[in-house]
Structure 1
Amino acid sequence: MFKCRIFIALLSRPTVFSRRKSSLGLWNQDISTNIKLDIEKHWAKEVLCNKFNCKDTFYVLPMFPYPSGNLHMGHVRVYSISDTIARFQALDGKNVVHPIGWDAFGLPAENAAIERNILPHIWTETNIAAMKKQLIQLGFNFDWSREISTCDPKYYKWTQYIFLKLFENGLAYQCKAKVNWDPIDKTVLADEQVDEIGCSWRSGAKVEEKILTQWFIKTTKFAKQLYDGLTSKNLENWKDIINLQKHWIGECNGIVVNFHSNIRGKQIVFDVWSSDPYKFIHGDFVTMSKNNVMIKDLTLEELQNLKCYNPITKRDMLVYVTDNLSYPEGRDVYIACPSVDPEDYKLSLSINIPTVDKNDIVDTHSENRRAIDIATKNNCGGHFVSSKLKDWLISRQRFWGTPIPIIHCPHCGIVPVPYEDLPVVLPEISTQETKVSPLSSFKSWLNCKCPKCSRDASRESDTMDTFVDSSWYYYRFLDPNNDKKPFDKEKLIGVTPVNCYIGGKEHAVLHLYYTRFMSYFLHSLGLTPTQEPFKKLLVQGMIMGQSYKTKNTGKYLPPENVQNVGKEYKEIKTGEPVVVQWEKMSKSKYNGENPQRLLSTYGCDTTRLLILADVPPATSRKWSDATLPGVLNFQHRLWITIREFLMHKSNGNLSNIKVLPEKEFKDYENKLWNSRNYFIATATYHFKYTHKLSVGISRLQSLTSVLRNNVPPEIIATSKEYEQSLAYLIIMLSTVTPHFCCELWAGMRSASNRICDTSSGIDWSQEVLQQRWPVVDENYPLSFQCKVDGADRCDLKIEAAKLKSLDLNEALQIVLGEKAVIERIKHGIIKTKYELYPDCRAILHIYTNRQAKLKQNLILE
């Protein structure tokens, strides 16, 4: 009874570190949701104030959210991933940049506002406030001092500034085009925003074709650079995203030249693409498809007299309208050179074009180069691009977007808004009006004076695609309050490219392509230190929920309307067979999960642990409560581990504890030493390098099992190895469950007798979030693997201190002494690749001629 009282008194007493926050002292109680919620409330401020002033910066960037009003499970997942990585990097001694903002313009907000009869800015601001509260409730350690919102004039002023820079450099232009028209949202969509069956990515409506004058950004001018940049060694972990980007851009095997044509008194500029640039010098005629937008309304007489101006030769060329050839993919204009190209000669005969029957001898290589040089010099094209890639259509015919800073003057034509007049802000709508209309309907806002001639003019009524706003935000985060320019280049040096960019695979083509283009463009102006915006990509999979829909009609049903009958599912009301499948979470499919329910029922730490455990970030997550017991049990085991640690530490004289023989004590310590180092090495590997956080968490669970597996009380009470292993476990887990670990640490610290012992790297005078991520002991043998043609051939052990300095040549010499390796490289080595992960492992890849021969035989077969 007496000892029990001492134990309870110890557990409930405040820590002796009065300048540090104390434990709640609830160790004599079993962990429960109420205790977890109390812990989270108790440590909330400390969890959100984890700052380090370190030399090296690590930029962790999750995609910023559209403010819909409530977090969904996809948000919880992506920000749990980014916060864990950010917390790891902070513990690893980095000055972490982990910003957040709002992708706040666009159709969803405008449509939602119209449905609710409120104004878009009010709807957006309300949603931002609600989501911000939830993000803070989840304990995500964002740097809110960097918060930005794309609908804030202080932000979109600089989007307009960048547009003007594009315009100045001939990369923003207006032309007539066949466009994708969304009949529901009543706006134009870029090709990328139409799915494979021709429906809008937003409304789901069948897209219609229209011919409108639209604004474009000439992304194609950077196509070759963007394509080649994908092979850069500076890109980490892009995996299949590289192939997606390459497929979208296409092989840049031709050039574009801007031809001119006078159609009904108007000068029209159109692009001519060719994989044989010499044809721009020696070509005889141009053909156009009957479906070409520019000629669709022309009369037969106009078509028969059609000409175009070739800026390379500075002469007119005849244009023939025909579909009697296979145009290059994505093109409906072709330049022909029948005097050199036999296929073009056949074409001229097939459509009765009079040509000279001759074969010119042309040095196509040098003429190709000459054509490119002329086009580049005259600023009329010459850039390499694939035939299928189109320029970025950015015009949107709605209200809630960044106004395009252009003025149309009857006398001066297209005139850019002067820089000093930015931002061009959206017109105000009174709160009594609550009516949102297209920007083109605000006549008083449209009317203005021309900056050149001061005569009456009109503002551009189109707004920009929201992807323009989100194509450069990662730079603004680094200088969010700059009112002189978009950002200061000096603040980007050493911080960009972004070390780790986290987002969904659905953005791996559109958003990433536009973002890379914008980064390359800004770099070409000398505004940024690097071309590529992101170093490492971490593409997270979707959260999938189990849905139920009737077999015959396909109607989705709520789970409560479905019953399980043997191996089948049926609708309760009708008995109709039901199909059960995993799909992306959606309210309309009744398969969503409300994060607020999880927060209220289990707390934010458990929710974060639940979302990260079991499945790596890149894999789709099938949401089920079935994983809850494992997570809850993990937290329970940690709780009672600290309880037992405190209890045995309080029993100072150990009178009731059996004294272990010295050898047995040493054996336990050796086992703990091995386990501690092994699990630190493997957890570090996955938290730091692979970002398979679920695997890292499983290593921490395994270390917990070691600490709970029949460990004698004397070891718990007196072993430095045990105390160190438990402390390191809490430090590592704090990246995932920061509140919970703050409490575990405060409890453990109250009983530690090693306050001044810094040999372990632990500073007991500081909170767990101010510690450093543990590293393996220098004499611990780490794994050094050798793979030959992808197969494991040896796994050697090298002390951590030596492994850190092991280079490729030394690594190769070591494995050449291994029989299993020698036998496999007798065909000769053609390539090697060495991967060194300090304090974790090293892997040497050897590729031989044998592999090349096998591939060759496969091709021949």
Structure 2
Amino acid sequence: MKQYTPEDIEAKWQNIWNEGDHFHTDVDLDKPKYYVLEMFPYPSGRLHMGHVRVYTIGDVIARVRRMHGFNVIHPMGWDAFGLPAENAAIKHGTHPAKWTFENIDTMRAQLKRLGYSLDWKRELATCTPEYYRHEQLFFLKLLEKGLVYRKKAPQNWCPVCQTVLANEQVEEGLCWRCDTEVEQKELAQWFFRITAYADELLDDLGMLDQGWPERVLTMQRNWIGKSIGAEIDFELESPTDAGSEKIAVFTTRQDTLYGATFMSLAAEHPLVPELIKDKPQAAEVTAFVDNVRNMDRIKRGAEDLEKEGVFTGAYCINPVTGAKMPIYVANFVLMGYGTGAVMAVPAHDQRDFDFATKYKLPLKVVITPKDSDNVLDPLTMEAAYTDPGVLVDSQEFTGLNNDEAKEKIADFLEEKGLGKRSVNYRLRDWNISRQRYWGAPIPVIYCDECGVVPVPESDLPVKLPLDVKTRADGRSPLPDTPSFVETICPTCGKPARRETDTMDTFVESSWYFARYTSTHVENAPFDPQAVDYWLPVDQYIGGIEHAILHLLYSRFFVKALRDLGYLKFDEPFMNLLTQGMVIKDGSKMSKSKGNVVDPDEMVNKYGADTVRLFILFAAPPEKDLDWSDSGIEGSARFLSRVWRLVTEELEDALSPMDPCYSFPADVLENLPAEYKELRRREHACVDKVAKDIQNRFQFNTAISAIMELINFLYGNLETFKANPDGMQVVSSAMASALTVLSPMAPHMCEELWQAMGHTRRLADEPWPTVDPTALVKDEVTVVLQVNGKLRSKITVPADAGKDAIEAAAMQDEHILRHIEGKTVRKVIVVPGKLVNVVAN
């Protein structure tokens, strides 16, 4: 047999798989379906080791499920619009379209070189009109339904990327893509009304608690941030010139209303200009407002922010105490939460306490600890009291515990017309407008006569022009492209202008998994039969960094498309696996750190099977994987051992036996005991690998089980070679080893499978059937201890009782030697495991 040359063997089998679209599947109502999907890549460069890890994990799951009889869909495509591709194209002085499609060609070849069982007939690229025409249709349908709107408001602006960012794309005040400090900019933008689904997005997380990591569920719950409380009206001491008479606040702590001593407003609150008009504080407040509005909203909401504010010169009235409360503008109050106004209760809120202490504002205690006879003294308090307690100095509510008081005070406010129960969410509507070129055009026209006019469905797609030149500073060329901007109003026929903003690239990735089911359909987003059969996705795989952005947006999109009649399910991804990063030398791989490992170099040096095996074996999928040169060499050595076992050690002796072949009862009787043990280990290995992969995603322990079986074969070669009559047993074990190893190392296993004389392709083989009787041990090894210390081991029948095991142990020479001259106090027997003799 020829030497193990991965490049030749892998090219051979990849050609075989590719030529026949071997992994393409169609709807088959007679088979159970299984949809396995990895998050698709940005084609902004080449594959990195993080890609290799996620797609290898997905491929193993897909191959194992196929072998278990499922009709598996395992598609691939390209998240081809957006900043990564556009910025890279600008950097390299080329057009984003050219750059993108060249990278797609390169990355497709890389994926094929790794031997992934992908259905390439379903391939899509989100930057093609064939894809985004349907996205534009969804926009129009959602606009009709009131789930899309346009408004002018302060937005997160990245001066380097030259575009608006959604709140979720701002990380600690920085752009999530380029780490530039984000500014605030007033712009008219398009929004998806994701808040309309806030309760459903929150409640339906309960459908996912068995299939999603708890960490991701918690992150989504916190981001949606549902708060139950009350909205309370505080009358202004004097109405403003514009006619405003009150300030509405949202609070979850209406039980502390009697302790409110001042009011804090967000810098963006529309009442601020009215309150300061003609007041001596106007200039100071305006300067403060301008400064705060340019601060990052994440920093403004941080607990460690230094609290600052300025008095407006205006007052409001506490609705239950009648006290006059000064109104401040404060840097820690956000317009995006509640009403942008906060009733300040410094004795029972730490932020208010810090602010009041700094500006010498009064504290009023209205809650004290339940088990304390001493009322808290506001003059000596060093921090706010925020624990549960009993109300004091709160009129008729004094003496109630604070939870009960919340309900009764809410009733009181509603009865008196002073407020109402209310629910608030941290979640904000999704800003999808991007001031960049490389994206799907928003299908809207602006007409001086008719206003905002949706593009007629018959005119879709609104194509992104490809004959434009991008700008070095990242600004979109679309506003300066008359052939795109200038159009005719479809309503009145007069000259009009197209919208030049493009959609956030997360719109494309919010529904691509549904398009995969029917990429061949031209005049509709989906084939209804295909969508109903394949969706939702059974197993989704991707990085934890998408826990809020992509995963939340996709959940919203599915619910919105369901309500439009396109889909019949509620959640896109029933099970989620979030894999860790690939690191080297203790840190994330990056060119600047000089610790990047190039997948192509590794594949060229070791072969795809070795790279796949190592990346699965080195760490559990949810943990970070620390790249190790010695580790990948170890994986290469193991595959070489498997190769030699078939092609050298057992050459010409193996026969094309089925894995886990069911032998007649008498076959093993006349063979050495090693054969029965081999059969037991064979079935145990198949059983463990299936469970480890399907139930636990523990690929490393699955591979360890295969290694143990191969080691047993090597360790007993002399016995096996000396008994040709038992070679069928060895052949069955070898066939099982190759079958369960094949999802991880498919090329080499196919080649060795063929070398054993099999005529069928291993990729088409079913998973071996485990015989439960084969797993039963005739004998077990029992550890013998004296006073807890290991002294010996014995082999006993597997069904031996306690008395028999104890008797055998007490005859062991090592035990007898260690208890000589001592009194045996107790003998502890754990059947099948150990005997411990207690003696002194």
The answer, yes or no, to whether TM exceeds 0.5 is: yes
| Change in CA separation of 1:69 and 1:661 when aligned onto 2, cut-off 3 Å | closer
- 1:244 matched to 2:223? The reply is no
Task: Answer whether contact 2:95 2:470 (CA < 8 A) is retained.
Answer: no
Amino acid at match of 1:700: I
Gaps of 5+ in 2: 233-239, 256-261, 282-311, 313-324, 350-355, 363-393, 398-403, 415-419, 656-665, 778-840
After TM superposition, give the deviation of residue 457 of structure 1 in Å: 2.5
In the alignment, is the contact (CA less than 8 A) between 1:43 and 1:742 conserved in 2?
no
The whole-number CA distance in structure 2 between the counterparts of 1:364 and 1:84 is 54
Shift of 1:676: 1.4
C-alpha displacement of 1:428: 3.7
Deviation at 1:288, TM superposition (A): 7.9
Partner of 1:634: 638
Quote how far apart the aligned CAs of 1:525 are: 2.6
- The separation in 2 between residues aligned to 1:322 and 1:675, in whole angstroms, is 75
Alignment-derived partner of residue 129 in structure 2: 153
2:697 to 660, 668, 691: 691
Q: For each residue in 1:194-252, what CA deviation from the matched residue of structure 2 results, as whole angstroms up to 9, or x when unmatched?
A: 222x2111122111122222222121221121111112267414232111221222234
Answer whether contact 1:47 1:739 (CA < 8 A) is retained: no
**Who is 2:97 aligned against?**
121
Measured after TM superposition, the shift of residue 147 of structure 1 is 1.0
Label 1:512 to 1:649 Cα distance change in 2 as closer, same or farther (>3 A). closer
Matched, 1:621 2:625: yes
Q: Which residue of 2 aligns with 1:727?
A: 735
Instruction: Report the equivalent of 2:605.
Output: 601
Shift in alpha-carbon separation, 1:247–1:717, aligned structure 2, 3 A: farther
- Aligned partner of 1:586 in structure 2 is 590
Equivalent position amino acid for 1:705 in 2: N
| Residues 527, 277 of structure 1: alpha-carbon distance in 2 compared, 3 angstrom cutoff | farther
Say whether the 8 Å CA contact 2:441–2:500 is kept in structure 1.
Answer: yes
| Partner secondary structure for residue 123 of structure 2 | strand
Q: Which residue is 2:836 aligned to?
A: none
Instruction: Measure how far apart 1:116 and its partner are.
Output: 2.7
Give the letter aligned to residue 774 of structure 1.
P
- Flag the 1:477–1:367 CA change in 2: closer, same or farther, 3 A: farther
* 1:396-545 pair list within 5 angstroms: 396-429=434-467, 437-545=476-584
Give the one of 83, 97, 116 matched to 2:59: 83
Q: Note the C-alpha offset of 1:537.
A: 0.6
SS in 1 for 2:695: helix
1:270-326 residue CA offsets vs partner (Å, 9 max, x unmatched)? 998665999xxxxxxx9882511656777944999x9xxxxxxxxxxxx99744898
2:265 corresponds to: 289
**CA offset at residue 610 of structure 1?**
1.9
Cα separation, 2, equivalents of 1:646 and 1:122 = 51
Given the alignment of the two structures, is residue 395 of structure 1 paired with residue 368 of structure 2, yes or no? Answer: no
- What residue identity is the alignment partner of 1:205? T
Q: Distance in 2 between matches of 1:32 and 1:271?
A: 75
**What secondary structure is seen at the aligned counterpart in 1 of 2:522?**
coil
| Structural mapping, 1:68-79, within 5 Å | 68-79=44-55
CA contact (8 A) 2:654 2:731 kept: no
Instruction: Measure, in 2, the Cα distance between the counterparts of 1:264 and 1:697.
Output: 76
User: What is the one-letter code of the residue matched to 2:494?
Assistant: R
The answer as to whether partners of 1:716 and 1:722 remain within 8 angstroms in 2 is no
Describe the superposition over 1:821-858 as per-residue Cα deviations: whole angstroms up to 9, x where unpaired.
xxxxxxxxxxxxxxxxxxxxxxxxxxxxxxxxxxxxxx
User: What is the DSSP-based 3-state SS (H/G/I as helix, E as strand, rest coil) of the residue aligned with 1:102?
Assistant: coil
Residue 21 of structure 1 corresponds to which residue in structure 2? Answer: none
TM-score normalised to structure 2 length: 0.70
Q: 1:648 aligns to what?
A: 653
Instruction: Pick one of 690, 699, 708 that aligns with 2:714.
Output: 708
Residues 489 and 529, structure 1, Cα contact 8 Å, conserved in 2: no
- State whether residues 287 and 334 of structure 1, in contact with CA within 8 Å, keep that contact through their aligned partners in structure 2: no
1:455, 1:504 → 2: CA distance? 49
For residue 535 of structure 1, report the CA deviation from its aligned partner.
0.9
Question: How far apart in 1 are the matches of 2:485 and 2:423?
Answer: 39
The aligned amino acid for 1:57 is K
The residue type equivalent to 1:616 in the other structure is: P
2 CA distance for matches of 1:134 and 1:325?
51
The alpha carbon displacement at 1:114 in A equals 2.1
Gaps of 5+ in 1: 1-26, 258-262, 279-285, 307-318, 352-357, 373-380, 547-581, 651-659, 750-763, 784-861
Aligned equivalents of 1:634, 1:331: Cα separation in 2: 58
Which of residues 771, 774, 782 is equivalent to 2:768? 774
Within-5 A mapping of 1:550-565: none
C-alpha distance 417-462 of structure 1, shift in aligned 2 (>3 A): same
Closer, same or farther: CA 35–216 of 1 in aligned 2, 3 Å: closer
CA distance in 1, matches of 2:24, 2:566: 29
Residue range with higher mean Cα deviation, 498-507 or 603-612: 603-612
Matches within 5 A, 1:42-191: 45=18, 49-50=22-23, 55-191=31-167
**Corresponding residue to 2:755 among 747, 752, 764:** 747
- Answer yes or no: is the 8 Å Cα contact 1:219–1:517 preserved in 2: yes
Give the C-alpha shift of residue 47 in structure 1: 9.3
> What is the Cα deviation at residue 135 of structure 1?
1.2
Q: Secondary structure at the match of 1:493?
A: helix
Secondary structure at the aligned position of 2:42 is classed as: coil
Shift of 1:143: 0.8
Which residue identity is paired with 2:746?
P
SS at match of 1:690: coil
The answer for the alignment partner of 1:11 in structure 2 is: none
Larger Rg over CA atoms: 2
Which whole-Å deviations, capped at 9, do the CAs of 1:778-823 have from their partners, x for residues lacking one? 435689xxxxxxxxxxxxxxxxxxxxxxxxxxxxxxxxxxxxxxxx
Distance change in 2, residues 1:298/1:65 (3 Å) = farther
Q: Is contact 1:163–1:172 with CA below 8 Å preserved after alignment?
A: yes
Aligned to 1:848: none
SS class of match (1:216): strand
Give the superposition deviation at 1:442: 2.1
Question: Could you tell me how far 1:105 is from its partner in structure 2?
Answer: 0.6
Superposed counterparts of 1:262-273, under 5 Å: none
Residue type of the alignment partner of 1:727: A
Structure 1 residue aligned with 2:685: 679
Report sequence identity in percent: 36
Superposed CA RMSD in Å reads 4.5
Residues 616 and 723 (structure 1), Cα distance of their counterparts in 2 relative to 1, 3 Å cut = same
Question: Would the aligned equivalents of 2:265 and 2:341 in 1 still touch at CA under 8 Å?
Answer: no
User: Compared with structure 1, are the counterparts of its residues 748 and 329 closer, same or farther at alpha carbon in structure 2 (3 Å cutoff)?
Assistant: farther
Residue identity matched to 2:49: M
Note if contact 1:176-1:294 (Cα within 8 Å) is conserved in structure 2: no
CA offsets 1:704-728 (integer angstroms, 9 cap, x no match): 1122222321456634332211111
Deviation of 1:192 after TM superposition, in Å, equals: 1.5
8 Å Cα contact 2:24-2:121 kept in structure 1: no
Instruction: Describe the shift of the 1:687–1:674 C-alpha distance in structure 2 as closer, same or farther (beyond 3 A).
Output: same
TM-score (ref. length: structure 1): 0.68
Q: How many residues align structurally?
A: 659
Q: CA 1:41–1:589 in 2, change beyond 3 Å: closer, same or farther?
A: same
Give the counterpart of 2:726 among 718, 728, 746: 718
Cα distance between partner residues in 2 of 1:217 and 1:256: 25
Q: 1:782 to 1:585 in 2, by over 3 A?
A: farther
- How has the CA–CA distance of structure 1 residues 736 and 136 changed in structure 2, closer, same or farther, with 3 Å as cutoff? same
2: CA distance between counterparts of 1:189 and 1:433? 19
SS at match of 2:188: strand
Distance in 2 (CA, whole Å) between partners of 1:302 and 1:409 is: 40
Deviation at 1:404, TM superposition (A): 1.2
Q: Deviations over 1:344-388 (max 9, x none)?
A: xxx9xx99xxxxxx999999979999x99xxxxxxxx999542x2
- Tell me, yes or no, if the aligned pair for 1:171 and 1:217 is still in contact at 8 Å: yes
- Cα deviation, 1:22-44, whole Å, max 9, x if unaligned, reads xxxxx2x4434566556556756
Contact 1:274 1:334 in 2 (8 A): no
Q: Give the drift of 1:486.
A: 1.6
Deviates more, 1:663-672 or 1:622-631: 663-672
